[in-house]
Amino acid sequence: MSDTPLWLDAFAHDFEVAHERTLRGMSKVKERVYYPGARRDGGHDGAWLRITASTGRMWTGVFASDLVAGRLSLVASWPEPSTLFVSVGGGPYLVDTRDPDAWSRIDLPTVRRYAPQADLGLALLLDDDRLSAYDAAGLAWESDHLGPAAEWLGRLDDEVHVRTGDQLHRVSLRHGGTVVEPASW
């Protein structure tokens, strides 16, 4: 998963991340943490990331990949400035960069789109079921069921528009309420 894109300017953050393969001195980082599990004794191969926390702590995170085609593969900043978002083909990981043992996995194994809304402090995740919004405290809201055929159209003012077949779903960015109407095109 060495080609997993980095999108660290999605939100303001207080850490640094780079792919291990792009750095020299890989063996100099003594702390290596494998996810899931935050294990130190090994795990599955996946995305190898050199993480430097705001505290100066430097460690390598190895994030297991499910390698599912069509699923999100992305490393990004998150609405909480010390949290790193890592999605490598399965349910995304959230890791506190200051404490690699403080991590969780978002239960969205079919996530396929990450859409930061920095002006609102929301990270939107579209999976095969619905649109979910996360803020610095966690899950803020979820839309109504959209289904696996949902296509992201974009944001218009305070709504996100998603199309499913001949239906337009207008999802409120304030609360996730969903209005469904016939698509006019």
Phi, psi angles (nearest 5°) of residue 20: -55, -40
Report strand pairing: 46-52 vs 58-64.
antiparallel
Whether pTM exceeds 0.75: yes
Report strand pairing: 159-164 vs 167-172.
antiparallel
- Residues 65-95 pLDDT 10s: 887 888 999 999 999 999 999 999 889 999 9
Domains and CATH numbers, the chain: 1-108 (no CATH), 112-185 (2.40.10.480)
What does the pLDDT read at residue 26? 55
Q: Is 39 helix (H, G, I), strand (E, B) or coil?
A: strand
Contact 131, 176 (CB under 8 A): yes
Q: How far apart (Å, rounded) are the C-alpha atoms in residues 10 and 55?
A: 21
* Angle made by CA atoms 66, 145, 63, in degrees to the nearest 5: 20
